[in-house]
Amino acid sequence: MPLDTGKPSFCVAVAAIAAGANRQADSGTGLAERLSELARARAWQVRCVDVCAADEIDEQAAVVLVEGAGAHGVRRRFPHALLVSEKEEAGLDLLLPGTVDDRALERLLGHGESHWRRNLKVMELFREVGARRQRMSQLSDIALSLSTQMNFSDLLETILLEARRLAGCDAGSLYLIDESEDEPALVFKLAQNDSRDFPFIEQRLALTAESLAGYVALTGEELDIPDVYAIGDDKPYRFNRSFDDQNNYHTRSMLVLPMRDHRDNVVGVLQFINRIDPLEDDPVPFGEELVELLRAVASQAAVSIQKNLLIRDVNRLFESFVQASVKTIEQRDPSTSGHSFRVADTTVALLETLPRSGMARFRDLSFSDAHIREVRYAALLHDFGKVGVRENVLLKANKLTDERLELIQYRIELQKERLRRRAVERELEMLHHHAADIEVARRRVHRDLGTELTLLADFESMVLRANEPSVLDETVAEELREIRDYAYRELDGTLNGLITDADLLALSVRKGSLTPDERREIQAHVNHTREFLSVLPWPPELASVPEIAGAHHEKLDGSGYPQGLIGEQIPLASRVMTVCDIYDALTAMDRPYKKAMPVDRALAILEDEARQGLLDGDMVQIFIDSRVYQRTQTEEDRRQAV
């Protein structure tokens, strides 16, 4: 071990020291004794060492007289010493003649001390270079660690832990400046201490120059304090000793650094406590070299924090956009309120259930948090393209619009009035001409009028019945054509009808309320969804949102739309979403164009479509067995409560 004397030493190296004799280097008049005497005059320590007794490196010896020991072994033991001997041996630095005067020995010791000091300096520089290289490597590792994307709390933990390792300090704290409220504050985000275990609670502190962290945050200056208990009264800041008093801890050296972002704004403060001397295990000042390295760490930390906050803000922006988009859809069609959220919840739940289902084809599936988020966004936005569908088509509860139905009813009532007027005119004409059997004629007129009015009433009833979005009977279609063929003459002599060809086409729809053109317009919402979402600058982890959302109406047999994809061509997440979307559309609350369907009936329809090869039968079975549709109902109830 090095001797803490500030002076070199003179050693006599022997292969062994006889037990009990414990040879002394200061007796007699031999070479060893003469060198010992001269070394003591220089205030050196003088020792006799058995080089075989231990393997410790002795860096303190400047001159070693080799007696009875191999020079090679002595060199390993005394790396900085000048090795001399009276006997010729390989590895010596100097072979002394049989007779040498004290002046020569003085020069020998002087040369040995110079040689020793040069070697120590070289070793010190070598160690310093090694330490700096290690610190630069640590700095590079810290930069690499901070460049990875992680959640905010993990990032702060990593910043403080890695910086403390580089600083070699016992404890540390991290503060962030919060300007979200009227008065900026200093938020005490994190504390670490290797010597004490203590419960940490995040605190919001007043941003003032009275505390060390507050002073640095406000001024941007660095504080390198050797002893915090010796801060002068002329300083505006004071050390808060409450932690020391409560935890029987003693803070001494402290380094407080501002964290500056790329705009040179202070965003937070790093506080390092008690740099530990590795030899003495005591706190020591930090020093300028270490401050320079930690300054770089603080800068990297600030950029990483700002990057993390920016990513968090972008994620919040995406989330807000998605929420606003869903609300936009629901405001256009309030009867579908909650549909997108329910489909998203159920889709994510079913997707996560697949690997746990026990089915061999899904056993090796695994989904990252980023992919689950991607699928959730796609499910929430799957109907966004409906903003491009005309409102009278999107909200069409019956086959005719209310305005069109009202016009047809007006025409029927108007025709009834024409028939009544014509009957009255015929009666007046018979009275004017004194027609014979006038009573018989009048009864015939009233009978014919009643027949015509009944026919028109039946027409109106038929139109109202056909207008409902139920399955249309073939006989109704024939009666509708009869209504279309009914004609009457306007006052100007032109012929007109009660309903037009377009009315007939709408009322003749066999199922639902949409004409073929209107159904194609509704189906086009999937194209609108994909096109609109494709315009957005999705980050790489969300790049498949348009594709997943745009395939939720595809069917395994290719009969779906808009692309007619088959089987595995349809993204897995889209196949999952299709099952959940159909179920919710069937079981959702009553809508103007349909009644809510019982759960068992809806599940039966899913099973039937799976048998027809339209849906993935395994997914449908897992959907039914796992009852994910029930688990997500709780989330829907919570949203409605909020």
| Token duo for residue 256 | 């407080």
**Rounded Cα distance, 317 and 64, in Å:** 75
Residue 561 has, within 13 A of its CA and on its CB side, a CA count of 12
CA distances in angstroms from 502 to 393, 499, 638, listed in the order given: 15, 8, 46
Q: Please list, residue by residue across 64-94, b when 16 or more beta carbons sit within 10 angstroms of its beta carbon and e when fewer do.
A: bbbbebebeebbebbebbbbbbbeeeeebbe
Question: pLDDT, tens digit, for every residue of 379-432?
Answer: 999 988 888 887 777 767 778 888 888 999 999 999 899 899 988 988 888 887
Which residue, among 285, 271, 259, 301, has the nearest Cα to 164 in the 3D structure?
Answer: 271
Q: Are 48 and 25 in contact (CB under 8 A)?
A: yes
DSSP letter, residue 367: -
| Token duo for residue 557 | 């047999």
When mean pLDDT is compared across 78-82, 124-128, 459-463, the lowest value belongs to: 124-128
Q: Please list, residue by residue across 222-249, b when 16 or more beta carbons sit within 10 angstroms of its beta carbon and e when fewer do.
A: ebbbeebeeeeeeeebebeeebeeeeeb
Q: Are 589 and 595 in contact (CB under 8 A)?
A: no
Question: pLDDT tier at 377 (50, 70, 90 boundaries)?
Answer: very high
Which CATH number, 3.40.718.10, 3.30.230.70, 3.30.450.40, 3.30.460.10, labels domain 148-311? 3.30.450.40
Identify the pLDDT of residue 641. Answer: 46
**Rounded Cα distance, 330 and 628, in Å:** 23
Which CATH number, 3.30.565.10, 1.10.3210.10, 3.40.710.10, 3.30.70.3170, labels domain 333-389+525-641? 1.10.3210.10
Which residue, among 156, 144, 269, has the nearest Cα to 205 in the 3D structure?
Answer: 269
When mean pLDDT is compared across 246-260, 265-279, 552-566, 605-619, the lowest value belongs to: 265-279
The 10 Å Cβ neighbour count of residue 402 is 10
Residues 6 or more apart whose Cβ sits within 8 Å of residue 534 = 546
Identify the pLDDT of residue 54. Answer: 65
Mean pLDDT of all residues in 423-442: 80
φ/ψ of 453, rounded to 5, equals -65, -40
**Rounded Cα distance, 355 and 350, in Å:** 10
Q: Are 301 and 163 in contact (CB under 8 A)?
A: yes
User: Does residue 357 carry a pLDDT above 70?
Assistant: yes
Q: Are 314 and 270 in contact (CB under 8 A)?
A: no
Superfamily of domain 9-124: Response regulator (3.40.50.2300)
Round to the nearest angstrom and report the end-to-end CA distance of the chain. 71
User: Does residue 23 carry a pLDDT above 50?
Assistant: no
Which residue, among 631, 605, 637, has the nearest Cα to 347 in the 3D structure?
Answer: 631
What one-letter code names the amino acid at 331? Q
| Token duo for residue 373 | 């988020």
When mean pLDDT is compared across 63-67, 375-379, 405-409, 470-474, the lowest value belongs to: 470-474
Q: Please list, residue by residue across 200-210, b when 16 or more beta carbons sit within 10 angstroms of its beta carbon and e when fewer do.
A: eeeeeeebeee
Question: pLDDT, tens digit, for every residue of 528-555?
Answer: 999 999 998 888 889 999 999 999 999 9
Mean pLDDT of all residues in 97-126: 85
Rg over alpha carbons for the chain, rounded to the nearest Å, is: 47
**Rounded Cα distance, 238 and 229, in Å:** 9
Instruction: Note the residue count of the chain.
Output: 642
CA distances in angstroms from 265 to 135, 314, 545, listed in the order given: 26, 21, 37
Question: pLDDT, tens digit, for every residue of 211-233?
Answer: 999 999 999 999 999 999 999 99
| pLDDT, averaged across the chain | 84
Question: pLDDT tier at 591 (50, 70, 90 boundaries)?
Answer: low
Check residues 153 and 455 and name the one with the higher pLDDT.
455
Residues 6 or more apart whose Cβ sits within 8 Å of residue 161 = 192
**Rounded Cα distance, 152 and 306, in Å:** 10
The 10 Å Cβ neighbour count of residue 424 is 12
Check residues 221 and 23 and name the one with the higher pLDDT.
221
Identify the pLDDT of residue 149. Answer: 53
